[in-house]
Structure 1
């Protein structure tokens, strides 16, 4: 019975199939070809899956990333390679990476150098006190190296026998009443080194003056004092060295990368710890011709007025050197990838579309870099997570566009 039932069921199934095929043929449009299934949409071929945060690691199936709490992204075969104009990143990946962009701007940039300097004595304002004739030191006034003296202050009393004979001769000639001979004898006293006040004293008193007081020609600091009481002096012997204090030098060490904007006469502003509420004005008087080999800095000298003599040598100063302004392209320094041989940025061509560009860079101003070539004002560049994008671009073989200005700081 079971076998008969099975045979009967198979027969009914075969009859049903035959009936359905016959109806389909009967309802079909004459001359029309049998209906075919619609072509299924072509599926994109997946090469591998990857974690955008670790793009170098590849996986053969989707799932959770073992590195980050996020789904793996597919890499499709039709996304291009070295010839692709840019790199595409999904909105989900952009959000996960926390990607930020910045705009390349044109700004008026002034050359600005911040450095630390040290206040020093002005070596151009130096006076040397010498003996004009041979004699003996009779008295040394209370002076010592480091003392500050005013102009005309007495320094030492000398007994000068050599001048006595010339003074006696002058008095004898004057007694003759010959004006021409008297003028010649008086001129001889001047040539011997006698001051006008000493000659006038000889004329008034009618007696030779063997004692002569040497005074300080210009006020300032006694840097050296080479005379002591009882010494014998010879003509031309140096007795003291006086350094003027009317102006001081500030020696500044400027990094060689910023030294190209410096010039003689450039204005500077200084702030000193001893006078925190004041800003002092100075100017560049010298840019030394040699750079320090140890620190790679250039020495620059500023001249700082010191009329009240409040400023002292040895003080430290924060120096600000400003130059003329120029319109230049700038971008945030964090947007630049430096490889050692070149500098790269990633330009945003469209939402989720990035392209590597090689740029020429100038000096750095705060957190901005001057752009010399490769970019235009208004372009958007990647300011964060660009290293991950650069890793993916390297895997894809994307080559950066060279800068428009050759030799501007970046090298291919």
Structure 2
């Protein structure tokens, strides 16, 4: 019977391969004697067919050569397929499946190689001929851990790194604009009705220094006060005269007469017809309204001068990053007009309001500007270092699997076991994440291919649930 099956199977293989002469053999009805003689010939004769030497699905009933001159490989009966049933111990029955071992570990069951919810207590193939995967004792432990073989760990590139104390530097990036320091802006105006006699060669955009002459002004009120002051300092100095003299000088100060002009009156003992007005500070002239011969009413602005040696950077920080900003943090500002150049300063003020249209908060950074490169209304980009400088427990960013509501890591327990652990994270920066709960210092966590372990964990959990349901 075995020989009959052998010949029939060989004929079926050759017919499937396209060797039509065997089709006639399948249609014949040979007698038992012919089958017996054919079986004896198959045992003693050499090959039953010839196959391409490279293993391609090319066959021949007679010896043949390939196009490059190589001989086809001779295939004897039973060389490629065995139809003999394996011998089994007499004491093993169908009701008692054979238990396989791998070293000291026992195979519990076999699962579908494609991840389908199908298990088997004995070796099995799926519909595509793929072997079921053996599951050993300990691979599906109840503690939620996942076990992988060393070969699988190497193939998938699983890599672990211990959690450690590190200093996290989180950079908040935001755009901003340069503005003048409000405390370094001066306005020159007259406090009494005056006439401008002459204006110095100073225009908008000119740089002036403190004490530099700007214009000559005639004011009846200033002239009267100067005459009174001169009379007191030239008269005999009695107690009442000294008090009156101090009052006369104070009237000149109240009229905003420059100190240099008052000193000139005291030195020359003469009241000039006009007074020279000078710049009150170093800076750039932002506005000039003074014109020779014009009449000026009290309060009229003639010059506006601003000091550019220190500027403000007003940075618009996103609302979500506002909680990480505090006073005293260092900020690096880069002007778009000067690529590659950096300006550094500290956060001085956090404005107590949110822009309802842009949902941003404004902070102020003071920047030294010694070469006057920064100009007001200039656009800049800022980076604010929000790190505290104190080391915290961290893991690499790639180790944390974030689902939105939960964060988890895989802790490497050794010997191919990986335990999923829920964690609570904090600040992020420099490629690391602060871990506040869930992991201890020095515990190794998976930083590479953790998504494959997560998929394996979900698959095993699903298979375990199906297996328990089937048993119930």
TM-score for the superposition, normalised by structure 2: 0.62
Q: Which has the higher contact order (CA 8 A, sep 6+)?
A: 1
| Structure with the larger strand share | 1
Q: How many angstroms does 1:94 deviate by?
A: 2.7
2:148 is equivalent to residue 85 of structure 1: no
Q: Cα RMSD between the aligned structures?
A: 3.9
Quick check: 1:189 aligned with 2:240? no
Q: Partners in 1 of 2:407 and 2:390 — Cα distance?
A: 23
Which one of the candidate residues 392, 396, 401 is aligned to 1:337?
A: 401
- Give the whole-Å Cα distance in 1 for the aligned partners of 2:325 and 2:170: 10
Q: Which stretch shifts more, 301-310 or 267-276?
A: 267-276
Measured in 1, the distance between the counterparts of 2:435 and 2:267 equals 79
Distance 2:126 2:149 in 1: 17
Distance of 1:118 and 1:209 partners within structure 2:
47
CA deviations on 1:291-328 (whole Å, 9 max, x unpaired) are 55666654432222334435544274664637553232
The residue aligned with 2:180 is 121
1:167 lines up with 2:237 in the alignment = no
- 1:244 corresponds to 2:302: no
- Output aligned runs, 1:163-312, within 5 Å: 163-171=222-230, 177=236, 179=238, 180-181=240-241, 183=245, 184-203=247-266, 207-254=270-317, 259-260=322-323, 262-268=325-331, 281-291=344-354, 298-312=361-375
Alignment partner, residue 73 of structure 1: 133
- Sort the Cα spacing of 1:242 and 1:341 in 2 relative to 1 into closer, same or farther, 3 A: same
Q: Any idea what SS the aligned residue of 1:198 has?
A: helix
State the Cα distance separating 1:217 from its structure 2 match: 0.3
The answer as to whether partners of 1:106 and 1:377 remain within 8 angstroms in 2 is yes
Shift of 1:204: 5.3
User: Which stretches in structure 1 are left out of the alignment for 5+ residues?
Assistant: 1-35, 399-412
Counterpart residue number, 2:196: 137
1:280 Cα deviation after fit: 5.3
Deviation at 1:78, TM superposition (A): 8.3
Name which of 389, 394, 406 aligns with 2:453: 389
1:29-59 Cα distance to aligned partner (Å, 9 max, x none): xxxxxxx9488754656463134xxx46869
CA distance in 2, matches of 1:96, 1:165: 99
1:104 aligns with 2:159: no
* Structure 1 Cα separation of the partners of residues 128 and 171 of structure 2: 48
**1:49 match:** 112
In the alignment, the residues of structure 2 paired with residue 136 and residue 228 of structure 1 have an alpha-carbon distance, to the nearest angstrom, of 10
In 2, the alpha carbon distance for the partners of 1:71 and 1:209 equals 113
TM superposition score normalised by structure 1: 0.70
SS of residue in 2 equivalent to 1:162? helix
1:376 partnered with 2:440: yes
- Asked whether the equivalents of residues 115 and 252 of structure 1 are also in contact (C-alpha less than 8 Å), the reply is no
CA distance, structure 2, for counterparts of residue 395 and residue 45 of structure 1: 17
Per-residue CA deviation, residues 231-255 of structure 1 (Å, 9 max, x unaligned), is 3322233323221122222344555
Secondary structure, aligned partner of 1:193: coil
Cα distance change, pair 85–248 in 1 and its aligned pair in 2 (3 A): same
Contact 1:115/1:253 (8 A) holds in 2: no
Give the whole-Å Cα distance in 2 for the aligned partners of 1:163 and 1:65.
Answer: 109
Distance of 1:211 and 1:269 partners within structure 2: 50
1:158 aligns with one of 200, 213, 217: 217
Any unmatched runs of 5+ in structure 2? 1-89, 101-106, 463-472
How many residue pairs match? The answer is 355
Distance, in Å, in 2 between the alignment partners of 1:285 and 1:391 is: 49
Alpha-carbon offset, residue 130 of structure 1? 1.9
* 8 Å CA contact 1:129, 1:239 repeated in 2: yes
Residue in structure 1 matching 2:422, options 339, 353, 358 = 358
Once the two structures are TM-superposed, the CA of residue 119 in structure 1 deviates from its matched residue by: 4.4
